[in-house]
Structure 1
Amino acid sequence: MGQLELLNDLIDVNKIDFAALLINEKDAKALKNYTFVDFRDKSKYDKGHIKGANHVDYANMFSKPMMEELNKSNSLIIIHDEPAVAGVIAATLKLMDYPDIYIFN
C-alpha cells in the first residue's frame, strides 16, 4: 500500500460515525456471526467478562496469533473501558479490512 492510499484510507476512517458503531450485548448476539473481543487488561478481563469473549491484550493487538484468531467473516464487537481506545481499535481494524466492526456499549 502506498502512502497516498494509506492517507486516503485514514481520511475515510475519520469519516466513520463512531456513534453508529455502538452496540449492546442483546443486539450483538442478534447478529448472525459475531465475536466479542475484549481488549481490556487481563486483570479486568479475569474479574468479569462476557461469556465467550476472546481476550486480546491491547499491546499484542497485531500479533500473529491474534490476527489468526479473528475471523474477517465475523462481526467483531470491541470491548474496552476507554471509548477513545475502543475507537482507535475499531478504526485500525477497519483499515485492516475487517468489514463489520462494532464497539460494545
Structure 2
Amino acid sequence: MSANGQPAPLLRLEGINTYYGQMHILQDVNLEVREGELVCLLGGNASGKSTTLKTILGIVEPRTGAVILDGRDVTRDSTAKRIERGLAIVPENRRLFGPMTV
C-alpha cells in the first residue's frame, strides 16, 4: 500500500534514460501501472514506444533509472528472470483486440 492509501504499483519506471549508442531515446520516463489497469503507450514513429517495452523487459538496459516489478528492483535482472517473475509483452497484431476502440 502506498502512502496515499492506493495499492502499490505492480510496475513502476523511475527516471528511465535509455540510449542506442549516443542517441538518447527515452528521457526521464516515469510510469506506474497498478493491478487491473489497462495502459496504452501512444506516439508517432520513433517516439520510444518499443524502446520503453524493451527496457521494461530487459532487452535494452537503461543507462539510468529503475524498473520496479512488484516492489522489487529488476533493472539489472535478465529478460529471463523478468519473465520468470511474470512479466510479458504481447507483440503488435492489429487483429488482437478487435472489439476495443481508441
TM superposition score category, shorter chain reference: under 0.3
Larger helix share, 1 or 2: 1
- Please report the TM-score for the alignment, with normalisation by the length of structure 1: 0.25
Instruction: Answer 1 or 2: which has greater strand percent.
Output: 2
Larger radius of gyration: 2
Q: TM-score, normalized by length of structure 2?
A: 0.26
